[in-house]
Chain A
Amino acid sequence: MKILVCIKEIIDPESPLALSEDGAVVQDKNTSYRMNRYDEFALEEAVQIKERAPGTTVTAITVGQLRSSEMLRRALGKGADDAIHIVTGTRFLIPPKKTARLIADYARNKNFDLIFTGVMSEDGMYCQTGPMIASMLGIPFAVSVISEALDHLKGSVAVECEIEGGIRERAAVSLPCLLAVQSGINRPRYPSLSNVLRAKTQEITKIVARDHELSATGSPAGLLGYPPQPDRGVMLEGSREEKAEKLAAILHEKGFV
């Protein structure tokens, strides 16, 4: 069984976020990066399948700037067998259609039985890349997958997808297929020492994304800006004591305490 897992390096939404004049997210020494949370679950699911079915290979792929190779090493440390890096420029929030095009072009004709992605990336929050890759490859997919069980005899996967309100839908998806994984499907592991040592020296295949591929038509680039200041609320000012006193007074006045 051949599995491809798509992972993405994101700027931690908690690290200071600022925009440069041309609307790009500023990256400097204060910027912290990490693997998209949903992709951690996707990777873990793939590695668990490999542990159950010997002979399975798990390939991790990312589309991202040069530094994203480090995240791929972390994926190797968590149990991926090899890693592919499609190298782009440093600008963040590549339109999902372009990311999907690059990954689909890589995956085509490579006979992957299963492709995993996270249900969304925490930075762009598009929820598009997974289903877009599947559509481009012409394979079925399921989104928000919260459990999966392979049925090799039937050549399909039984999935549960979490939908609005926490309702779960059960579905059968034919292989090969793509599963966009929801958080909570498993407990992602930490990298193991033996894998980390292997990952240190392992070759990461680099493919440079050509400019014209990145400027493909059909997905207008969005312009980033700051959200307008809300007109509704007040921020309490002062020392911790003062803020606590003010909040207690407000809630008292409203009859809550």
Chain B
Amino acid sequence: MTKKLLIVCETLDNSLITPVQELAAFAASCSISSDETTVMIAGQDVSAAVPKAAAAGIDVMTVEHEALRYYNPPALAGSVIEVCRRIGASRICFSHTMQSCAAAVIVANELDCAIVTGVERAGENNGVIEFARSAYNGKMLEKTMFGSGDGFVCTVQSGSFASDPAAPNATGNIRKFDYDAVSEKFIPLGITAADESAISLNEADVIVAAGRGVGKEENLAVIYETAKLFSNSAVGASRIVCDNGWLPYGRQVGMTGKTVSPRLYMACGISGAQQHLVGMKNSQFIVAINSDPHANIFSTAHVGVADDLNLFLPVFIEKCRGIE
């Protein structure tokens, strides 16, 4: 017997965060969706999110509460658990965001079921469902198997499953679910927008990005020199570079930084952790320079150079100048 699936959509300040089509594509890829799949949307006021989330005729359940206006993992988890009990779902799928991942952990603990976070690939073979996710900054893939009768909680890495453009745009039934068991132990107070100083990252045609592999702050000079080779270019960075204070956080590309898609992205000394990749993998052309030939960044790059960036880039700059 197939298990009922619940797809959880979150909102932040009343806008839909979850790429629900991607979650539907994920569920289809491992055959866990069925007629009885339900999409749940949680938030303070989800009216604007409902039309976006109600796709392909899937039934929608809305949960509205003022405590759900901002990220509130315990309240999201509490409402998911009650919805699951109501509809009898034992497979629960979230997107892999900060809130959803935390809520997924609470749900897995309360329902005492297995949890897999950051799923990037999925498949089904003879009733065996297989999920794969990254470990060691993407140098390893970890697989988890489930039988056709198993329940589980999972979070899906955004950008990993292409939504089906041909999916019918029919709306399923929309039902409201009342939830009021909000704890006072975690009280969201509001949000502050990110530092917008690096608007230029979004407008640049070319981004030369520095990772921890540059070694020290002084070595950023060669990154700036490289950026100067291109017109309308900007320097970006991985989180560690910003944590070290080498560049301001406004330069950070990735999950907690900017999402960019320039014509050319040059990743220099960046290992290729998922949290960085989600911010740049849609760049049109990606070049990676890394001294470790097994670095995961090479799996996303169109052209890879396994070399020490501090030795390679000066030679590369010379060659480019030679062309001009």
Contact = CB atoms under 8 A, between A and B. Distances in A.
Nearest to A228: B141
Interface string B30-71: 000000000000000000000000000000000000000011
B292 A227 contact: no
Nearest to B255: A164
Given A166-B194, A224-B141, A135 B110 contact: yes
A141 to B, nearest CB: 7
Interface stretch (B84-92, B168-176, B256-264): B256-264
Interface in B138-157: 138-146
A11 B139 CA distance: 12
The interface centre, meaning the residue of B114, B183, B242, B315 with most chain A CB atoms within 10 A of its CB, is B315
Given A17-B140, A245-B319, A232 B302 contact: yes
Interface string B244-273: 010001001001111100011000000101
B162 interface: no
Interface residues of A, number: 76
A224 B135 CA distance: 9
Contacts of B165: none
Nearest to B70: A169
A179 to B, nearest CB: 12
Nearest to B72: A171
A190 B94 CA distance: 39
Contacts of B311: 240
Interface residues of B, number: 97
A227 B299 contact: yes
A191 interface: no
Contacts of B144: 220, 222-223
B114 A236 contact: no
A256 B274 contact: no
A220 B114 contact: yes
A89 B74 CA distance: 34
B192 A236 contact: no
Interface in A14-39: 14, 17, 19, 25, 37
B225 interface: no
A247 B257 contact: no
Main secondary structure of the interface of A (DSSP, over half): mixed
A43 to B, nearest CB: 15
B272 to A, nearest CB: 10
B102 to A, nearest CB: 5
Contact of B312 (A25, A166, A240, A257): A240
A60 interface: no
B240 interface: yes
A104 to B, nearest CB: 10
Main secondary structure of the interface of B (DSSP, over half): mixed
Contact of A126 (B117, B256, B271): B117
A243 interface: yes
Contacts of B242: 184
A13 B318 contact: no
B141 A244 contact: no
A132 to B, nearest CB: 5
Interface in A199-257: 218-220, 222-228, 230, 232-236, 240-241, 243-245, 247-252, 254, 256-257
Interface string B98-129: 11011001101110111111100000000000
Nearest to B319: A248
Contacts of A247: 287, 303, 305, 316, 319
Nearest to B140: A224
Contact of A234 (B114, B229, B304): B304
Given A140-B185, A142-B186, A165-B259, 16 more contacts: A97-B108, A124-B135, A127-B117, A135-B105, A140-B186, A164-B98, A171-B70, A182-B256, A183-B240, A184-B243, A222-B144, A224-B140, A224-B143, A240-B312, A241-B315, A256-B263
20 contacts: A13-B139, A124-B135, A128-B101, A131-B102, A141-B102, A142-B186, A144-B256, A166-B249, A166-B256, A167-B12, A167-B192, A169-B190, A171-B70, A220-B144, A222-B144, A227-B140, A234-B304, A236-B303, A248-B323, A254-B264
Interface of B: 12, 17, 70-71, 73-74, 97-99, 101-102, 105-106, 108-110, 112-118, 133-146, 183-195, 206, 229-230, 239-240, 242-243, 245, 249, 252, 255-259, 263-264, 271, 273-274, 285-287, 292-294, 296, 298-307, 311-312, 315-316, 318-320, 322-324
